[in-house]
Every structure is written in C-alpha cells, then in structure tokens.
C-alpha cells in the first residue's frame, strides 16, 4: 500500500467522524432552537420583562424576531438537481477543478448503476443501484467527494489517483470542521451545551446585549 493510499484512508476516516458529528448537530438544531426559545422567554419572564418591552425601550433597531426572520430568508428556496436532490452552494473554481480529478471515479460509478444501464426485472436491485447513482451524482455536483467515494467503495471501484484526491479531501475535512465550529459558536448551541443556570443566564444576557445594548 502506497503512502498516498494510506493518507487517503486516514482522510476518509476523519471525514466519516466529522460528518457524523455534523449530522448529529444538524439533526438537533430544531430541538436546540426550541430549547433556546423556551429558556429565553422564561428568562425574560423571570426578570419581569418581555421581548416587546425590550424592543420598545431600546435604541437598537435590530430585534430578536427580525434576526430570526433574516436567518430564514437567507436560506431561500431550495434548488434541486436532475435527480430531485437539493443543490448546495454554487461550486467554486477549486470545486470545478476537483470534479476533473473525481471524473473517472464518477464515470465508473455511472457505468455500473445508471438507471438506463439497469434491468427492471429485479426492482429491489434496480432501486438499490438507482439510489447509489443519485447519491453519487449529488455528491459529484455538490463537491461532497466522500459521498462519491463511499458509493464507489460499495461498488468495489478503487480510485487510481490517490495523491490528487487527497488534496481535495483535506479541503472537504476543513469545510466540515468549519461548519461544526459555526454551529457550536451560536447562542442556541452554547445554551444547549451549558449545564449551570448561571452560565445559561450569561449566554441569554449576551444575546440581549447584542440586540438591545443592555443586560438584565
């Protein structure tokens, strides 16, 4: 086994670990948001005030509700690709270069599981392979190279250019780590992680100060 293949396997293990952590966080976001809302409103009630009173008596123009609405609006409507799966951000020049590196691997996947190449005599097999094709196509079009590789592994397809792939896998690892760091830096997640009431109250006061330039 070459040094580049060893590094490739190490990067895949890192990606698996960080992707699982990111997935867990993103699955919890709704519950984290609800917990934050509940604690935030309870804190204001405990202090004998309300969001509306803070807005009415504050010179700050931004409000908590406006901030929430802006976050939702920023997401915008989801765009889908030809497979019906959601398209992420537009690919960068680096991602376009990476597509060339992963093109052969993706083409080998297509040869094995494109719906037009499959018989419909065995629908269970057809659906399984079609799901793999959709996953690989989504990964290829959204610079999620670990997904393309995962499908290739399931089909017994080995890459032929480990060294070139490794650079792009390192970048994907860094991107996932960046997303995790962002989620963990939010007020909601920090409140979720906090154990003591004193710490939770401090976090709520931070967001109140950021919005209304006052503390309770």
pLDDT at 8 over 80: yes
Q: What is the pTM of this model?
A: 0.73
63-68-69 Cα angle (round to 5): 95
Greater model confidence, 63 or 116: 116
The string of DSSP codes covering 123-186 is HHHHHHHHHHHHHHHHHHHTT-HHHHHHHHHHTT---S-HHHHHHHHHHHHHHHHHHHHHHHHS
Break the chain into its structural domains and give their ranges: 94-185
186-192-197 Cα angle (round to 5): 115
Digit-coded pLDDT (tens) for 111-151: 999 988 888 888 898 999 999 999 999 999 998 999 999 99
Q: Which two tokens stand for residue 97?
A: 């270069």
Digit-coded pLDDT (tens) for 157-193: 998 889 999 999 999 999 999 999 999 998 889 999 9
Q: How far is CA 106 from CA 12, 100, 109, 129, in A?
A: 17, 10, 5, 14
Digit-coded pLDDT (tens) for 46-60: 989 888 888 877 665
Residue corresponding to tokens 């480990």: 162
């Amino acid at each position: 086994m070459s040094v580049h293949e060893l590094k490739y396997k190490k990067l895949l293990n890192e990606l698996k670990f960080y992707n699982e952590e990111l997935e867990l966080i993103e699955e919890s976001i709704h519950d984290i948001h609800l917990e934050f809302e509940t604690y935030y409103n309870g804190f204001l009630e405990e202090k004998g005030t309300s969001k509306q009173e803070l807005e009415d008596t504050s010179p700050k123009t931004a409000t908590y509700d406006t901030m929430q609405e802006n976050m939702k609006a920023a997401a915008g409507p989801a765009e889908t690709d030809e497979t019906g799966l959601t398209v992420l951000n537009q690919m960068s020049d680096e991602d376009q270069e990476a597509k060339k590196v992963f093109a052969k691997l993706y083409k080998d996947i297509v040869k094995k599981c494109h719906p037009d190449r499959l018989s419909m005599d065995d629908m269970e097999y057809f659906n399984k392979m079609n799901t793999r094709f959709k996953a690989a196509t989504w990964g290829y079009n959204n610079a999620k190279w670990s997904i393309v590789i995962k499908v290739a592994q399931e089909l017994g397809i080995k890459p032929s250019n480990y060294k070139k792939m490794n650079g792009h896998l390192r970048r994907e690892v860094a991107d996932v780590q960046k997303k995790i760091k962002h989620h963990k830096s939010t007020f909601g997640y920090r409140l979720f992680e906090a154990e003591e009431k004193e710490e939770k109250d401090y976090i709520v006061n931070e967001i109140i100060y950021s919005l209304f330039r006052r503390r309770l």
